[in-house]
């Protein structure tokens, strides 16, 4: 019996999603883009942060005071953070998690450790790390529990590393932990050229050793997914995913569907033609 891992949350207008989801907020030592930095990030006393002070209104940048660390927490000097669909939702009050206002949005980041709490032994000052947090990443400093951080190598640029936690974390959670994908199984990934999609294609193909069929909205996107490891691509703007899956699998269907689109494709994913 096949399995479906659903990541679809809800739709926002296309223009918002396309403009915002795949970009990164990138900050180098000069401070956040478009601001005059007066922060003292290195000493850890104060820092600049993006703040949502009112839902559905423009975000503001303010100087905040650092808070003391709890014993298992780590303070990171954030160099880059990802901007995800969920960040857009949370700033509109449309996400399942609704933090009290004002809050700093941002769920994933890459940076350098400034300070560790007294009970932290696995991470040290100066380490390069990536991390996840429900909020707080769109700031010069982010404080998280040490379990939400992972070390990264010198060769991985911060702007690339910052995009890994949500996309790859989601792919790993969905395909390995939820769907329990096995080597040799066939996985269909929709929106395969998106952030979550490409991570899923890469992880399923190269780590889980599955055969991946990539479905996406253009031939170029299908090609990109195939460069990441997919064995076949289906352009769902011009072809029926259901019919193409039948052809590609000799009517056997796939073992796992990872859908981040919803709508008709999601309904199709429950079709018996999709499953072995």
Ligand X SMILES: NC(=O)c1ccc[n+]([C@@H]2O[C@H](COP(=O)([O-])OP(=O)(O)OC[C@H]3O[C@@H](n4cnc5c(N)ncnc54)[C@H](OP(=O)(O)O)[C@@H]3O)[C@@H](O)[C@H]2O)c1
Question: Which span sits near ligand X by CB under 6 A: 13-21, 27-35, 39-47, 144-152?
Answer: 13-21
Task: Choose between 75 and 197: whose C-beta lies nearer to ligand X.
Answer: 197
Q: Nearest approach, Cβ of 8 to ligand X (angstroms)? A: 5
For residue 142, what are its two tokens?
């982010």
Q: Is 164 in the site for ligand X (CB under 6 A)?
A: no
Q: Is 178 in the site for ligand X (CB under 6 A)?
A: no
Q: CB neighbours (10 Å) of residue 94?
A: 15
Q: Nearest approach, Cβ of 214 to ligand X (angstroms)? A: 9
For residue 195, what are its two tokens?
């952030």
Q: Nearest approach, Cβ of 35 to ligand X (angstroms)? A: 26
Question: Which span sits near ligand X by CB under 6 A: 10-18, 63-71, 97-105, 149-157?
Answer: 10-18
Among 4, 17, 160, 207, binds ligand X (CB under 6 A): 17
23 vs 208: CA distance, rounded Å = 28
218 vs 200: CA distance, rounded Å = 18
Is residue 175 within 8 A of residue 203, CB to CB? The reply is yes
53 vs 103: CA distance, rounded Å = 7
Q: Which residue has the tokens 């699998």?
A: 249
Q: What are phi and psi of 260, to 5 degrees?
A: -115, 15
Q: Nearest approach, Cβ of 89 to ligand X (angstroms)? A: 8
Q: Is 265 in the site for ligand X (CB under 6 A)?
A: no
Task: Choose between 14 and 68: whose C-beta lies nearer to ligand X.
Answer: 14
Angle at 235 between CA 230 and CA 239, to 5 degrees: 130
Q: Nearest approach, Cβ of 222 to ligand X (angstroms)? A: 8
Residue nearest to ligand X (CB): 194
Q: Is 170 in the site for ligand X (CB under 6 A)?
A: yes
Q: Is 117 in the site for ligand X (CB under 6 A)?
A: no
Q: Is 86 in the site for ligand X (CB under 6 A)?
A: yes
Q: Is 260 in the site for ligand X (CB under 6 A)?
A: yes
Q: Nearest approach, Cβ of 203 to ligand X (angstroms)? A: 13
224 vs 128: CA distance, rounded Å = 29
Question: What residues have CB less than 8 Å from 119, skipping those under 6 apart?
Answer: 71, 72
Task: Choose between 140 and 244: whose C-beta lies nearer to ligand X.
Answer: 244
Task: Choose between 17 and 61: whose C-beta lies nearer to ligand X.
Answer: 17
Alpha helices in 108-240 (DSSP H): 158-161, 164-171, 195-202, 219-227
Q: How many amino acids of this chain bind ligand X (CB under 6 A)? A: 25
Q: Which residue has the tokens 């300070």?
A: 115
Q: Is 193 in the site for ligand X (CB under 6 A)?
A: yes
145 vs 132: CA distance, rounded Å = 10
Query: Alpha-carbon torsion 98, 99, 102, 108, what sign?
Result: negative
Q: Is 166 in the site for ligand X (CB under 6 A)?
A: yes
Task: Choose between 42 and 243: whose C-beta lies nearer to ligand X.
Answer: 243
Tell me 93's DSSP state: T
* Residue ranges that bind ligand X, judged by CB under 6 A: 7-9, 11, 14, 17-18, 21-22, 84-86, 166, 170, 191, 193-197, 216-217, 221, 260-261
């Amino acid at each position: 019996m096949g399995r479906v891992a659903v990541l679809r949350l809800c739709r926002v207008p296309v223009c918002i999603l396309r403009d915002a989801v795949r970009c990164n907020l990138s900050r180098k030592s000069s401070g956040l883009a478009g601001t005059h930095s007066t922060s003292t990030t290195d000493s850890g006393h104060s820092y600049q942060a993006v703040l949502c002070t009112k839902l559905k209104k423009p975000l503001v940048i303010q100087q905040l005071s650092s808070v003391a660390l709890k014993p298992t927490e780590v303070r990171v000097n954030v160099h880059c953070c990802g901007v995800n669909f969920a960040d857009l939702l949370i700033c509109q009050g449309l996400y399942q998690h609704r933090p009290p206002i004002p809050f700093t949005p941002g769920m994933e980041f890459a940076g350098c450790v400034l300070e560790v709490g007294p009970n932290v032994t696995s991470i040290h000052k100066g380490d390069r790390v990536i991390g996840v947090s429900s909020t707080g990443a769109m700031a010069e400093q982010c404080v998280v529990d040490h379990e939400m951080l992972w070390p990264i190598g010198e060769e991985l640029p911060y702007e690339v590393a910052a995009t890994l936690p949500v996309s790859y974390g989601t792919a790993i959670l969905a395909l390995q932990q939820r769907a329990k994908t096995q080597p040799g199984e066939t996985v269909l990934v929709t929106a395969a050229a998106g952030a979550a999609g490409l991570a899923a294609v890469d992880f399923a193909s190269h780590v889980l050793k599955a055969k991946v069929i990539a479905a996406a909205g253009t031939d170029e996107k299908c090609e990109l997914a195939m460069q990441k490891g997919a064995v076949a691509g289906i352009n769902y703007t011009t072809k029926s995913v259901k019919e193409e899956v039948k052809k590609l699998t000799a009517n056997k269907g796939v073992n796992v569907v990872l859908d981040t689109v919803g709508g008709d494709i999601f309904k199709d994913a429950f079709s018996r033609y999709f499953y072995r």
